[in-house]
A and B are shown apart, each in its own frame.
Chain A
Amino acid sequence: MGKRRVRITPYIIGGLIVIFVVMALLVNATPLGASNVWLRVFFGISALNFTLRASVPLILGAMSGILCERTGIINIGIEGMMLAGAFAAFVAKTGTNDWPLMNSLLFGVAAALAVGGAMGWLHALFSIRYRMDQIISGTVLIILATGVSSYLFNRDAVAEGKFGSIAIPGLSQIPVLGEVLFSNPPLTYTALILVVVIHIALFYTKWGLRSRACGEHPRAADTVGINVNRFRYMNTIIGGMLAGLAGGFLVLEAVGQFQEGMTAGRGFISLAAMIFGNWMPFGAMGAALLFGYTQALQNELLLAGVTTVPRQFVSMIPYVVTIVAVSGFVGRVRAPAAEGKVYETEGGSE
C-alpha cells in the first residue's frame, strides 16, 4: 500500500507541474487572462514573478537546513541566522552608501555570508563542543539575533539602492518563461545555481558522501577515518552562510531596508520545505516554490481587491499550508538517521 503510493507521487507532481505550466502559458500569452481576474490571480506573470521572489529566501534556508541535517545537526536556528545575515547586510550597506553601488551591495553580501557563517559556527560550537540540545541551541540563536539586531539597529539609517534585474540576453526574450526565469536580480540566480551545486556536491562528490555518512552512521564514518565533528562544524558553518545569504537577499534585493523581525518565520518555513522535500535539494526547492506560491497568492488576492475573504485569513495561507505539508508528508520522508545526536569518539570525549 505504502509502496504503491510512493511510486505514483512523482507522476502526480509531474502532472500538476505540466498543467500549471500550460495554464500559465495560456493565461499570459493568449487573451484568456485579460478576461478573468481569478485566472490572473492564480497564473498571471505577476503571481509567477512574486512566487520566485518569495521562494528565494526559502530555497536558501532549506539548503542551509539540508547541509546541516545531512551531517547530523538539526538547525532550527535558520530564522536567527537569516535575521543576523539581514542585519549584517544592512549595516554593511548603510556604512558604505558612498561607495559605488555594486561594490557596496557586494560588501553587504560578504557581511551577510560572514555573519551567517559565524552564527553557524556558534550553533556547531554549542551543540558539538558544549552538548547543548540542538533545538535549544537553535532557539538561542533566534533570541540572540533578535536581541542583538534590535539593540544595535539604528532606526535613522537608510540603505541606498538595491540589486536590480539582469536580463540574460536571448533567453529573456522567450515569452512568459523569459520574463519569469531569465530577468532576475543576481541573488535569485545565485540561489537557483546553488541548488544544482549542492545537489551535485552532496550526491556525486567524496565530500558529499562523507557528509552524508556523518549524518547516517557517524560510528561507521569514524571507523573509516572521517573526522565526524570536523565535517559537522564545516557543514553547519556553510549552512549558516547560506541562511545569512537568505537574509542578505531580503535586505539587498527584495526589500532594500532592514526591519526588526523582518524574517517573519521564513526560517521555519524553510525547515518545512526541507522536510517536505525529503532532505533533497531539488525536492526542497519544489516545496519552497510551493510555499512561495502561497505567499504570491496572498499578495495577488490583496492586489486584485478581493475583500470577500478577510485579508488576515488570506495571510494565514502560507502558515496553514506549512502545517498541512509537515503533517501530511513527514511520515513518508526519512530524516538522516543520526540527526540531533552528539557524536563521541570511542574512548573519550573531545
Chain B
Amino acid sequence: MNVSSLRRIGQMLLIPILAVFSALIVGALVMWIFGDDPLAAYRGLLDGAFGSARAWSTTIRKMTPLILTGLSVAVAFKAGLFNIGASGQFIIGTVCSVAVGVNFEGLPAVIHLPLALLAGIAGGMMWGFIPGALKVFTGAHEVIVTIMLNYVASLFAGWTVYAGGTQGQTPGPLWDATAGPISRTPEVFLNARIPWIFGDPYRVHWGVALALAVAILMWWVIFKTTLGFATRTVGANNKAARYAGINVKWITILTMMIAGGLAGLAGAIETLGLNHRFAPEFTGSVGFDGITVALLGQTNPIGVVLSAFLLGALDAGGARMQFNSGVSADIIQIIQALVLIFVAAPTIIRQIYRIRKPSDQVETTVFSSGWGR
C-alpha cells in the first residue's frame, strides 16, 4: 500500500470520524442544557458497549442486523434509489423465515436453516420488487411507496400473529395457540436456528459472520462485477447509462430486490439467531437506522460494517447509560440524527474544522430529482 492510497483512505475516513465526534459533542450540549450529566452518560455508554465481555457481545449482537439493513440502503443509494423501506422488508423477511422455521418438523438442519434464511431473503426481495417495479412502470417515487409498504408490512405481520379477538375474530395463521391472548408465533424448530458462537449468557450467534460475509460479497458485486458497474452508472448518471445501453429499468428493479433481500435477510437472521420467534414488539428501528449506517459508511460496504459497529455500540450502550446515569436512552436517536446531519452536509464539518475540499472529491449521488421522472 503506497502513500497516496493511504492518504485517500484517510480522507475518506476524515469526515465520518469528525461527524461522529461533533455529534457526540452536540449531544453532550443537549444533555447539559436539559439538566442531564453528559459525562456520566457517556461513561455509562462506553461501559455498556465495551466495558465487559457481556457488553462486547451485546454490541456485536446489535451490530449484526445493522450491517445488513445498512447494506440494503447503501446498495439502493448506489443506483440512485432511496430505500426508506428497509424496515418493512425486514419485517416481511422475519415473517417469511418464521413461517418456514415453525413448520416442517424433522427436516435436517442443513436443509431447514438455509431454507428459512432463503425464505427471509425471498420475502424481502418481493417487498423490494414492488417499489422497484412501480417506479419503473408507473413513475411512482420509491420513497413514498416504501414508506407506505412499511406500514402495510407491519400490519400484515401483526395479522399473522394476531391472537384473535373477543368478537369472534379469527387468529392469524402463525399465532402460537399456547400463548393465550398474547400475539406471537411459536418458537422455530431447533433445526432452523442459527447456532451460537458463544451461548448463554453471551448469546452471540453465527449470523454476525454471515452478515460480514454478505458485506464482502456486496463489496465484490458493487466494485468488481459488470452488474455493480451498471448499477453505479445508473446511480451516477441515469441518462448516460441509458445511452451506454444499460437496461436502466431492469437495474432499478433488480437493485430494489437486492436491497429488499438484504433487509429481509437481516430479519431472518435476527429471528433465527436471536429471538427464535416473532412478536410485533421485536420490530425495533433497525430498518430506519440503516439509513444512518449507509450514509455514515459513505455507501461503501466496508464503511457500512464500520458504521454498523459504531451504531451497534451506541445501541448496546444505551440501556446501561440509562441505568447508570438516568439519562433517557432516547438521546441516542438525537445523536444519530446529528451524525446524519454532519455526514450528509460535509460543508458544515469543513467549515467548523477549516478543512479544504479535496479536489478529487467524488460527489455524492443526488436523489432529489423530483417525483418520479
Give A320 to B149 CA distance when docked, in angstroms: 8
Interface string of A296-308 (1 = CB under 8 A from B): 0000000001010
User: Taking chain A's interface residues, is the majority helix, strand, or loop, or is none over half, making it mixed?
Assistant: helix
Task: Point out the residue from A150, A328, A335 that lies within 8 Å of B333, measured CB to CB.
Answer: A150
- A251: interface (CB < 8 Å): no
Question: Is there a chain A Cβ closer than 8 Å to B53's Cβ?
Answer: no
Spot the interface stretch: B92-100, B119-127, B154-162, B215-223. Answer: B154-162
Q: For residue B346, which residue of chain A has the nearest CB?
A: A130
The segment out of B185-193, B204-212, B334-342 that lies at the interface is B334-342
Interface string of B50-83 (1 = CB under 8 A from A): 0000000000000000000000000000000010
**Quick one: closest B residue to A144, CB to CB?**
B337
With the chains together, A50 CA to B180 CA distance in Å?
Answer: 34
Q: Do A133 and B140 form a contact, CB below 8 Å, given A147-B334, A313-B159?
A: no
- Is A315 an interface residue, CB under 8 A from the partner? yes
Asked if residues B149 and A323 are in contact (CB atoms below 8 Å), the reply is yes
A151 near B370: Cβ-Cβ < 8 Å: no
Are A143 and B333 in contact, CB atoms less than 8 angstroms apart?
yes
Q: Looking at the assembled complex, report how far the CB atom of B5 sits from the nearest CB atom of chain A, in whole angstroms.
A: 28
**Could you tell me if A312 and B156 are in contact, using CB atoms closer than 8 angstroms?**
yes
The stretch among A111-119, A134-142, A167-175 that forms the contact with chain B is A134-142
B152 and A319 form a contact (CB under 8 A): yes
The answer to whether A140 touches B337, judged by C-beta atoms less than 8 angstroms apart, is yes
Contact residue among A126, A136, A272, A305 (Cβ-Cβ distance under 8 Å from B295): A136
CA distance A126 to B328 in the complex (A): 27
Task: Give the residues from 310 to 350 in chain A that come closer than 8 angstroms, CB to CB, to chain B.
Answer: 310-313, 315-316, 319-320, 322-323, 326-328, 330-331, 335-336, 339-341
Report the Cα distance A74→B338, complex, angstroms.
21
Contact yes or no, A323 B148, CB < 8 A? yes
B151→A316 contact, CB < 8 A? yes
Interface residue B284 (Cβ < 8 Å from any Cβ of A): no
Q: Which residues of B contact A131 (CB under 8 A)?
A: 345, 347
Q: Is the CB of A140 within 8 A of B344?
A: yes
Whether A74 contacts B151 in the complex (CB less than 8 A), given A126-B341, A331-B139, comes out as: no
Inter-subunit contact B144/A272 (CB<8 Å): yes
| A151 B328 Cβ-Cβ under 8 A | yes
Please determine whether A327 and B152 come into contact, CB atoms closer than 8 angstroms: no
Residues of A within 8 A of B43 (CB): none
B341 touches A140 (CB 8 A): yes
CB distance from B329 to the nearest CB of A (A): 9
Q: How far is the CA of A315 from the CA of B348 in the complex (A)?
A: 42
- Tell whether, in the assembled complex, residue A323 and residue B145 are in contact, meaning their CB atoms are under 8 Å apart: yes
Question: B345-373 toward A: CB 8 Å interface, digit per residue (1/0)?
Answer: 10110000000000000001111111111
- Inside 8 A of A236's CB, which chain B residues have their CB? none
Q: Are A139 and B84 in contact (CB under 8 A)?
A: yes
The CA of A126 and the CA of B348, in the complex, are separated in Å by: 9
Residues of A within 8 A of B332 (CB): 147
Is residue A271 within 8 Å, beta carbon to beta carbon, of the partner chain?
yes
Give the shortest distance, in Å, between A69 (CB) and chain B (any CB): 9
| Chain B residues, CB < 8 A from A233 | none
Given A136-B367, A319-B152, A340-B369, does the pair A268, B340 have CB atoms closer than 8 Å? no
Q: List A contacts of B140 (CB < 8 A).
A: 323, 326-327, 330
Contact of A310 among B152, B169, B288 (CB under 8 A): B169
Q: Are B148 and A320 in contact (CB under 8 A)?
A: yes
**Number of A positions contacting B (CB below 8 A):** 50
When C-beta atoms are compared, the residue in chain A nearest to B364 turns out to be A133
Specify which of A131, A147, A305 lies most central, judged by the most chain B CB atoms within 10 Å of its CB. Answer: A147
With a cutoff of 8 Å between Cβ atoms, the chain A residues found around residue B368 in the complex are: 74, 133-135, 339-341
Instruction: Check B138 against A312 for contact (C-beta < 8 Å).
Output: no
Does A221 interact with chain B (Cβ within 8 Å)?
A: no
Decide if A275 is an interface residue (CB 8 Å cutoff). Answer: yes
Cβ-defined contact, B34 with A322, below 8 A: no
Cα separation A135 to B155 with both chains bound (whole Å): 26
Docked Cα-Cα span, A129 to B351, in Å, equals 12
Whether the Cβ atoms of A322 and B144 lie closer than 8 Å is yes
Interface string of B308-345 (1 = CB under 8 A from A): 00000000000000000000101111101110110011
B144 — which chain A residues lie within 8 A by C-beta? 268, 271-272, 275, 322-323, 326
How far does the alpha carbon of A328 sit from the alpha carbon of B372 in the complex, in Å? 12
Please tell me if A148 contacts chain B, counting CB pairs below 8 Å: yes
Contacting B at CB under 8 A, from A257-305, are 264-265, 268, 271-272, 275, 305
Q: In the complex, which residues of chain B have a beta carbon less than 8 angstroms from the beta carbon of A74?
A: 368, 370
* Interface flag for B167 (CB, 8 Å): yes
Decide: B145 and A310 in contact? CB cutoff 8 A. Answer: no
Q: What is the CA–CA distance of A271 and B334 in the complex, to the nearest angstrom?
A: 25
B249 contacts the other chain (CB 8 A): no
What is the distance, in angstroms, from B334's C-beta to the closest C-beta of chain A? 4
Cα–Cα distance between A152 and B144 once the two chains are bound (Å): 29
Q: Is B306 an interface residue (CB 8 A)?
A: no
Q: Given that A147-B333, A265-B151 are known contacts, is A307 also in contact with B167, CB under 8 Å in the complex?
A: yes
Residues of B that sit less than 8 Å from A by CB: 30, 34, 82, 84, 134, 138-141, 143-145, 147-149, 151-152, 155-156, 158-159, 162, 165, 167-170, 172, 288, 291-292, 295, 328, 330-334, 336-338, 340-341, 344-345, 347-348, 364-373
22 residue pairs bridging A and B, Cβ less than 8 Å apart = A131-B347, A134-B368, A135-B368, A136-B295, A136-B340, A137-B345, A144-B334, A147-B337, A151-B328, A151-B334, A265-B147, A268-B144, A268-B147, A312-B155, A312-B156, A312-B162, A313-B159, A323-B144, A326-B144, A326-B145, A331-B138, A339-B371
Closest 5 CB pairs of A and B: A340-B368, A147-B333, A312-B159, A130-B345, A150-B330
Known: A307-B167, A313-B159. 13 other contacts (CB 8 A): A130-B348, A135-B143, A143-B288, A147-B331, A151-B34, A151-B330, A310-B172, A320-B148, A322-B148, A323-B134, A327-B134, A335-B371, A340-B370
